[in-house]
Amino acid sequence: MNLLVYYFKMMHKVLLLVYRWQKYLFFFIHQLYNIINLLKNKISVLAIESSCDDTSAAIITDGVVISNRTATQIVHQQYGGVVPELASRQHLIHIIPVIDAAIKDAGMDLQNIDAIAFTRGPGLLGSLIVGVSMAKSLALSMDIPLIAVHHMHAHVLAHFAEEPKPSFPFLCLTVSGGHTQIVLVNDYTDMKVLGSTIDDAAGEAFDKTGKMLGLDYPAGPIIDKLAKAGKPVFHFPEPQVAGLNFSFSGLKTSILYFLQKAVAENPNFIQENLNDICCSVQSSIVHILLKKLKKASEITGIKEIGIAGGVSANSYLRQSFDEEGKKHGWNTYIPAFEYCTDNAGMIAVAGYYKFLNGEFCDQNVTPLARMEF
């Protein structure tokens, strides 16, 4: 009887200890799990991206992206923008071949994968559903963990897909077709938005201007090319927005009014001045972006600065960003082109660091069209 009492007393003490130290115990067990995994073999994560009109799959092994395959949907070009219903149908067609290609490029087979990362949001719901369902099915059938990734976190983490990598803390200007924001990045999983657009995104400003000029979608790369043979001779009013936020809808309207007036006077105005119009619009957009980025650096005192997202492929932005950097003593970072537009390589980087942190999700996870940063 005495022995039984002693046993229960001991158990009580052990449980109390476990309860009191559970935070550290879980951390310790998790780190032990990581170390065992590292010793046992390499950690490989398969990542899937399907938030908009690119179907992409990538594999990261021990923090190095070893394959990154993307199928871009050209079906939208004739409509001047992404048609959500068509996008999700295209994802269905592309997703298996793209995953297959990423695994083959990596010289692996599915058995080597330790976890599946996927874009949970934000994005088009119909598009996200395809990637999320694929990720969940794979994880379930292989009995491996699932990792949900925020698309915009991943755009920032594209800086870690290849060398040179920024050191923490750094500022990231993320400019894409759907987003424009300045992010303070403290760590792989700790980031804060300092400013964002209150209306249109920078990529939208390029694409909508392109539509007014009769250019194909997406117009960003076309404007970039045409601007090279032009001069910034036309001037548009600069938006006055408080703090580190952006606005591009006023610029869009002033471009529209400017074109309407000019075409009324000369019906061939656009054809005759296409290069100069493109160069002027591009220079206005880049000026707005860099002015706020400079302000963010002044406020935070951070000189470690990167740009990311589809618009960071813009040659004038890249050149001006480097020039600003030299002027202000910044260390500047721009990911390689394949990691700028939507791609699974960046999802893989985000997924890998979440894996190391033990941030997994369960099979009940759903895609989110809007997702808090």
Q: In the complex, which residues of this chain contact ligand ADP (CB under 6 A)?
A: 52, 176-179, 203, 206-207, 218-221, 224, 309-311, 313-314, 341-342
CB of 349 to ligand ADP, least distance (A): 15
Residue 239 binding target from ligand ADP, Mg ion, none, CB below 5 to 8 Å by type: none
* Residues 94, 97: Cα–Cα separation, whole Å: 6
CB of 122 to ligand ADP, least distance (A): 9
CB of 103 to ligand ADP, least distance (A): 23
CA neighbor of 361 nearest in space, from 348, 351, 371, 347: 351
Task: Count CB atoms within 10 A of the CB of residue 213.
Answer: 19
* Residues 44, 65: Cα–Cα separation, whole Å: 10
Between 43 and 223, CB nearer to ligand ADP:
223
| Residue choice 342, 348, 354, 355 for contact with Mg ion (CB under 5 A) | 342
CB of 19 to ligand ADP, least distance (A): 45
CA neighbor of 114 nearest in space, from 93, 83, 142: 142
Identify each DSSP E strand in 62-142 by its residue range. 64-72, 115-121
CA neighbor of 348 nearest in space, from 106, 39, 92, 79: 106
Residue 311 binding target from Mg ion, ligand ADP, none, CB below 5 to 8 Å by type: ligand ADP
Between 311 and 347, CB nearer to ligand ADP:
311
Whose CB is nearest to ligand ADP? Answer: 310
CB of 176 to Mg ion, least distance (A): 4
Strand order in the sheet with 146-150: 64-72, 54-61, 44-49, 115-121, 146-150
Residue 221 binding target from Mg ion, ligand ADP, none, CB below 5 to 8 Å by type: ligand ADP
Residue 161 binding target from ligand ADP, Mg ion, none, CB below 5 to 8 Å by type: none
DSSP state letter for 175: E
CB–CB of 65/162 below 8 Å? yes
Residues 150-179 that bind Mg ion (CB under 5 A): 176
